[in-house]
Amino acid sequence: TVVVLDFGSQYTQLILRRVRELGFYSELVPYDATEQEVTKLQPAAFILSGGPASVYDENAPKIPDYVFKSGLPVLGICYGLQALVHQLGGRVERSDRREFGPAKLHVEKGIGVFEDLPAEFTVWMSHSDRVEELPDGFEGIARSENSPYAAIRSLDGRYYGVQFHPEVIHTQYGKEILRNFLKKVAHLEENWSMSDLSEELIRQLRERIGGGRVILALSGGVDSSVVAMLLHRAVGNRFIPIFVNTGLLRKNEPEEVIRTFDGLGIKIHYVDASERFFKVLDGVEDPEEKRKRIGHTFIDVFYEEAMKLRELYGDVKYLAQGTLYPDVIESKVAERKAGAKIKTHHNVGGLPENLPFEIVEPLRYLFKDEVRALGKVLGLPDSILKRHPFPGPGLAVRIIGPVTREAVVLLQEVDHIFIQELKSWGLYDQVWQAFAVLLPIKTVGVMGDYRTYENVVALRAVTSEDGMTADWAKLPHEFLNHVAKRIVNEVKGVNRVVYDITSKPPATIEWE
């Protein structure tokens, strides 16, 4: 395992992703993790991340002793480099001037991490302190205008340090630098491919679940679908996926999910709880209240079904969840910050802790794009892998004001036309998410000789990398024109269509 020690940089996760993309198994560990925890991972090399601290801060995070004692190759990035220098007897100078952004790097010695790279290229800097004097047995191998020691190494070739960030895409040859460290410096072989991983996960699941049975809340989204495929391959029909129809899904969604999984040989335990959801939502307007009620009801319904299955088969012992690595990191960080509030997961599917099941989380070391790649290896169709994200509370948060069955049906029709047209114009895969929102106002229109007084729907489509920020999608006018015409002509009760042209921030993607 390539162990990435986290000193708190915003880029730490990126280091991990790059290393894995390069085909090396890697894990992230807080800098103050115990030696035992780290030893368990069988480290083969260490990468020290950047971080916001200065080595002169009181309580500045330190590189733990076991790293030095291990004899393993070490790459320090930004703060990681400064901590290396500081702890090995060199000098880091405090500075209030930040070097931030692109810088020209001049490679002085094309060895180690710089093997086969050009003598000059652009790197991404983000630091204020800088290295002024090297520890004994070290040499500088690259400089930039502001950093005389932009890259250094120990003469024995064990330690490397770079002031810039090879993990961000703005650093030219960043990937090559990391690859050189792993292959040329640490002499590691690639050991991380999706098909290896998938076989390994299946084997582990089979071992863990043994002769028992395992359940899963399957939504048809990417994460739970990939978990379903793994479980199906691992234990066959001792895996029981539960699909809860909240009544708040897209048009035909339950049927499509059932059909898709049927085609993959997976039989879904289907529960229609829509009546119950509409009842608890009756008259509720506040978005957070909607989310709360939907969340609780979902848990209740799922729990009741799980207990029924348990009565039917005594050996339903395991509950699988599609938790991903960012969730794991996030909650670890939150746990560590004393008093910090753990972000309330707004995912429906967050289940209470004291369930009578052992939790199985096969995706807990993976990032979203890795999950997609895994799903592909496992044979999931694009209709699932490329599906837009859909919020747990479903259409309830896309109906502004009280949620009724009639409102849902109307919105389903509008949404269906929009999505269908996006697909047939080849635009669906170009946007992160697209949907319609039903507004709580009526406006005047004219149809034929009649004055109408009917609903307004808003269309929303955004592009995004991760949902944290988003731009409104510049969909072609002819397309919007065509969709608006179809909606007003075909959906009774709608006489006006508007298009949302705000980005996030300041708006959010959803309207509620």
| Residue 273 or 348 with smaller CB distance to ligand XMP | 348
CB of 287 vs ligand XMP, minimal distance in Å? 9
What's the chain's length in residues? 512
| Residue 381 or 467 with smaller CB distance to ligand XMP | 467
Active site residue 167: yes
Q: Looking at 165, 176, 232, 421, which residue is catalytic?
A: 165
CB of 472 vs ligand XMP, minimal distance in Å? 12
- Which helix or strand (DSSP H or E) is residue 278 part of? helix 274-281
- Residue 274 among known ligand-binding residues: no
Strand order, beta sheet including 316-320: 269-272, 239-245, 213-217, 316-320, 358-360
CB of 371 vs ligand XMP, minimal distance in Å? 15
Strand order, beta sheet including 159-162: 26-30, 2-6, 45-48, 74-77, 159-162, 151-154, 138-143, 99-107, 120-127
Nearest to 140 by CA among 107, 172, 183: 107
Cis peptide before 506 (omega within 30 of 0): yes
Contact 248, 284 (CB under 8 A): no
Cβ neighbours, 10 Å, residue 251: 18
| Residue 420 or 502 with smaller CB distance to ligand XMP | 502
> How many angstroms separate the CA atoms of 322 and 57, rounded?
39
Nearest to 455 by CA among 470, 465, 440: 440
CB of 162 vs ligand XMP, minimal distance in Å? 34
Q: List interacting residues with ligand XMP (CB under 6 A).
A: 291, 346-347, 389, 391-393, 433, 467, 504, 508-510
| Residue 19 or 363 with smaller CB distance to ligand XMP | 363
- DSSP-based three-state secondary structure for 142: strand
- Residue 23 among known ligand-binding residues: no
CB of 314 vs ligand XMP, minimal distance in Å? 33
Strand partners, 93: 130
Contact 94, 118 (CB under 8 A): no
CB of 264 vs ligand XMP, minimal distance in Å? 24
CB of 218 vs ligand XMP, minimal distance in Å? 15
- Residue 9 among known ligand-binding residues: no
| Residue 38 or 324 with smaller CB distance to ligand XMP | 324
> How many angstroms separate the CA atoms of 403 and 435, rounded?
17
| Residue 321 or 433 with smaller CB distance to ligand XMP | 433
Active site residue 465: no
> How many angstroms separate the CA atoms of 33 and 383, rounded?
41
> How many angstroms separate the CA atoms of 82 and 80, rounded?
6
- Residue 193 among known ligand-binding residues: no
Contact 93, 130 (CB under 8 A): yes
Contact 499, 426 (CB under 8 A): no
Active site residue 21: no
Strand boundaries in 329-487, DSSP class E: 358-360, 433-447, 450-463, 471-472
- Which helix or strand (DSSP H or E) is residue 415 part of? helix 405-424
- Residue 397 among known ligand-binding residues: no
- Would you name the residues annotated as active-site residues? 78, 165, 167
Binding residues for ATP: 219-225
